[in-house]
């Protein structure tokens, strides 16, 4: 079992395997399940992600009215051909939002690494699959690669907004997506690690300040931002750009930042956007 990114990369060299393959082998060793069963379980997760995106892009609304319908608006904007960011990034953003809007509407999603950050990874995956003409098996491998980095963060820092702010949730998800995108595009394990580091660095210090304590505002939009950040980080790594600070040290820095973050900015809805006049008024409207 690997405990950090350094050990994960060493495993890829020793086993002459991709990160996704190492993760599959570790899962087989720790669970006793066959390769077929391990991949079947991940395939089910992929199906849940796919269904959530489809449902979100059809249009959903949360019970509070705080979120819903924005993924459809962005998708229509993409279709207009007026997008400034490029269709791939915008599709990643729209599909990330679609997933989190379904979550806010009490639909079924796959938490990766959490429910509040559930849109970033599938947003990136489904945005690049057509561009790379990826097979179903390659999409499953994407999720195994992403999960390897998520596991490392969970074991060495935190994936909880209550413990470490949104940097621990959407920040981690963005890094996971960036690393997996690199592998799917044919990059090396080292490049995946750099992509993870670059993406996570860009989101260090991000607070968790949900309006009314609900996973809607600003969570839905932050997943879109995390998806865009992941795409840029992946491209930077594939271009040969490296993170000056090693990935393991970036993860450790994120953990230490989270430990020093005040409680008002860690999912308590007592600070940040939740404490704005509008944020307080919305909370009062919803809960009385």
Average pLDDT over every residue of 260-279: 98
Q: What is the pLDDT of residue 142?
A: 99
The average confidence (pLDDT) of the chain is 98
Q: What is the pLDDT of residue 162?
A: 98
Q: What is the pLDDT of residue 108?
A: 98
Phi/psi for 159 (5° steps) reads -115, 20
Q: What is the pLDDT of residue 135?
A: 98
Q: What is the pLDDT of residue 273?
A: 98
Tokens coding 93: 């953003």
Average pLDDT over every residue of 174-184: 99
Q: What is the pLDDT of residue 14?
A: 97
Average pLDDT over every residue of 205-219: 98
Tokens coding 131: 């561009």
Q: What is the pLDDT of residue 79?
A: 98
Q: What is the pLDDT of residue 207?
A: 98
* 180-41-159-53 Cα dihedral, nearest 10 degrees: 70
CATH code: domain 5-283 is 1.10.4100
Average pLDDT over every residue of 132-149: 98
Q: Could you report the per-residue pLDDT of 9-48, keeping only the tens digit for each? A: 999 999 999 999 999 999 999 999 999 999 999 999 999 9
Helices 35-58, 120-132: inter-axial angle, 10-degree rounding:
100
């Amino acid at each position: 079992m690997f405990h950090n990114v350094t050990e994960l990369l060493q495993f890829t060299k020793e086993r002459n395997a991709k990160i996704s393959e190492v993760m599959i082998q570790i899962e087989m060793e720790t669970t006793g399940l066959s390769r077929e069963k391990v991949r079947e379980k991940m395939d089910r997760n992929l199906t849940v992600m796919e269904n959530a995106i489809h449902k979100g892009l059809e249009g959903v609304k949360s019970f509070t009215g705080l979120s819903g319908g924005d993924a459809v608006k962005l998708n229509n904007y993409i279709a207009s051909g007026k997008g400034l960011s490029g269709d791939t990034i915008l599709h990643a953003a729209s599909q990330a939002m679609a997933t989190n809007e379904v979550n806010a509407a009490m639909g079924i999603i796959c938490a990766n690494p959490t429910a509040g950050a559930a849109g970033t990874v599938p947003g990136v995956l489904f945005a690049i699959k057509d561009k790379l003409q990826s097979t179903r098996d390659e999409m499953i491998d994407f999720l195994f690669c992403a999960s390897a980095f998520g596991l490392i963060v969970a074991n060495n820092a935190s994936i909880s907004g209550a413990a470490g702010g949104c940097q621990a949730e959407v920040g981690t998800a963005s890094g996971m997506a960036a690393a997996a995108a690199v592998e799917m595009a044919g990059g090396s394990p080292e490049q995946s690690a750099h992509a993870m580091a670059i993406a996570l660095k860009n989101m260090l210090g991000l607070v968790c300040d949900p309006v009314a304590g609900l996973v809607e505002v600003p969570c839905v939009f932050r997943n879109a931002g995390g998806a865009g950040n992941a795409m840029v980080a992946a491209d930077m790594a594939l271009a040969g750009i490296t993170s000056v600070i090693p990935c393991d040290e970036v993860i450790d820095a994120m953990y230490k930042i989270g430990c020093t973050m005040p409680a008002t900015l860690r999912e308590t809805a007592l600070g940040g956007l939740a404490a704005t006049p509008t944020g307080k008024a919305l909370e009062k409207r919803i809960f009385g």
